[in-house]
Amino acid sequence: MRKTRLRFTWKRRSRAEWGLAWTFANYPMALDEADKRLFVGCRLPARLVVLNTDSGQVVAKLPVVGDTDDVYFDPTRRFVYVIGGDGAVDVFQMSDPNHYEHAGRTNTASGARTGLFVPALDRLFVAAPHRGSQAAKVLVYQIMQSPR
């Protein structure tokens, strides 16, 4: 089984290796330090894997938009935002550290997979590339208290 390795660069050695429950091509990660959760975006298949950082156990594995490239955790609202190049942002609400509900999906643009979450502005910025007749642009999403 494939493992995610946490490396602490100041010690130049690995501290842990954690399995991702048969998901591969992991790239983006976000950390909820208070609840000890690591959110890992995987592309094969398209899943958000949630790990307990104390034990390395997978506590949730959720279907997400394809071509995941960015994941953000919003500790104020307890939302997880997953941006994918297949043209959407998936939003998950954390009900507790082991349970997540799909709160919604917002369409973006084809290839728009890079983003920036700015909590102080309540905004999620997503970069949409030039593709065919689609002009390059930055999409700006106002984060509401509840996505419903």
Tell me: the pLDDT tens digits for 13-39?
A: 556 667 676 776 677 899 999 999 999
Q: In the chain, where are the structural domains located?
A: 3-142
What CATH number was assigned to the domain covering residues 3-142?
Answer: 2.130.10.10
Q: Reply yes or no on whether the pLDDT at 104 is more than 60.
A: yes
Going by C-beta distance under 8 Å and a sequence separation of 6 or more, which residues neighbour residue 132? Answer: none
Distance of CA 29 to the CA centre of its chain: 6
Q: Reply yes or no on whether the pLDDT at 51 is more than 60.
A: yes
CA atoms 82, 20, 100, 39: torsion sign:
negative
Q: How deeply is 80 buried, as exposed, middle or buried, from its count of CB atoms within 10 A (0-12, 13-18, 19+)?
A: buried
pLDDT at 122: 94
Average pLDDT over residues 135-142: 95
pLDDT at 10: 46
Q: Are 23 and 10 in contact (CB under 8 A)?
A: no
Q: What is the pTM of this model?
A: 0.86
* CA atoms within 13 Å, Cβ hemisphere of 106: 21
